[in-house]
Structure 1
Amino acid sequence: MSLQTHPIPPIPDLTAKVAQRAFRKGNVYMQMRDVLGTFFTDDQFTDLYPADGQPAYAPWRLALVSVMQFAENLTDRQAADAVRSRIDWKYALSLELTDEGFDFSVLSEFRQRLLEHKAGERLLNTMLDQFREACLLGARGKQRTDSTYVLAQVRDLNRLELVGRTLQAALNALAEIAPDWLRTWVAPAWFTRYGQPLTEFRLPQKKTERDTLAAQMGWDGFALLEAVYFAPDVPPLLGHLSEVETLRQIWLQQYVLIEDTLRLRERKEMLPAAKLLQSPFDLDARYSYKREREWMGYKVHLTESCDEDKPHLITTVHTVNATEPDDKAVDPIHDYLQARDLLPDEHLVDMGYTSAPLLYDSQRDYGVNLFGPVWEKHTWQQASGYEIDAFTIDWENRAVTCPQGHTSAPWTMQEHRREHTITRV
């Protein structure tokens, strides 16, 4: 599918007339088109398409549809229907009222092109540039950051489902690459055991039966790995299949094999959540929790401008591993904003983003004042000790007197690597 670039067409007269009559008090998408234009052009996406093939649907329209789709939380089918049926969308997209739009699958194909060419940030960066040109966004204002969960597009699996679906995925991959070898090697019982998806509905309910099945699948998985890696007649490169490598990793994480005894690992024997694979179909998704929310997937940090005299606009979208602490995102967010010349003067965050080093480093390295509550340390000393105000400090004589009248003996001063002087008493 090739791209034939065209200039942005004007809004058709009939579309403009009907839209303005239908929305006498205005409409957000019509106002967006009138004030900010279309944001995108075909020329911005030429690198995503080959030189030959059938003409592609205009990527500037697909990009703008993606923005409006996200704003309204629509599915691909709903977004494609909106292009066909909604006057305000036709106005923003310069479409005739009779335009039939496109098949909903075109949207996912467009997103896949963005992913393959690592061009996902292109849409946000283009919009930020236009917001700046319109004086709706600028540096040295106020911005705030918070995180939320991103669900992986895979089903949550219990441990029995995880090992079963992992083994099935490896068998399916081998069946595509080396069906003859697999047919001669696999035991007949495997076709019954792994011929259908191993969902909780099909799994036994009694603990003893589940333990027996877990051990059986464990032995089957190890037997498959041994055959793939060491069988004399194995076709080359089977051991390099990603599904086989995933099987190997999940078996190491889930099973303990001691001599002739095989069992699932106990919870205390498991890897930390940051390293534990949760699905054979998304190797980067992780289990995490925040406050009352539990999820399997990722975490996204959203930063928005919050100046009182301007609209609130998203300035960064920073997606990370679900288990990564929030404070690890502060420097990458500041780096991105600095590259776009959008660093704020005040950056408002919650407690997860703050620490003494970050408060200092943000001001020193970026000129950003990081505002947010700081974690309070709750220790056993804190429960039975005194507050700092209860001590009398004599700076001239280098002495500290406690509430019981005792005076400290040692007083040492040390230069810290961040050019601070630390006094130890």
Structure 2
Amino acid sequence: MRAIHINVRKDFADLFPPWGRPAEAPWRLALVTVLQVIEGLTDRQAAQMLQVRVDWRYALSLSPDDAGFDFSILSDFRERVLKKDVHAVLLDPLLQICRERGWLKERGKQRTNSTIVLAQVRALNSLEAVGESVRALLNAVADREPDWLMEHLNPSWFDRYVHRFELARFPKEESKRAELRVQVGRDAWELLEWVTSKHVPESLSDLPEVGVLRQMVEER
């Protein structure tokens, strides 16, 4: 992957406040967003790539000793881009370069634009958040009622949630990612109905993870 040189316009100067810690360059965060779509990565995974992928660091013009940035910066960046309505100006030129270099493949007749990119990255992070919340609730149930959990556990849940969901590499094909989102959503609602039914042990009635998972699925 070759380095990309972007002409950073003054239009993007107001994406971040002039005070406080110096912000990451908007073009760099935009390129990370595009790379997330190319490789199917969540914000957390993308930030980790900066620590281990030399090609990413080169493309982003980062020095070998650069510490990278916290993954939460990426979601904040997307919100600012949408709020300032500069996503097409900032992201579309990057997407054009990626298409010209063969890094980004078009799917069918629809061209990948900035709106689609932002939606895809948001969907990946949503999938990670809900999946990790399901796993957290299952672990909480296991801590309090391990025998009851093993008796009632849906066998497929063990395969899907035995490992940290945030470390999973999701399918690159959108159709398969969509199937996974639907499945995780079903798991989440089934688990919520299960742990809040009148037949569960009383010790599970006050698990905070229940509220977290419910909030996650309702927001998404």
TM-score range, shorter chain: 0.3 to 0.5
**Larger % of strand: which?**
1
Structure index of larger Rg: 1
Q: TM-score, normalised by structure 1?
A: 0.25
Greater relative contact order, per chain length (Cα 8 Å cut-off, separation 6+): 2
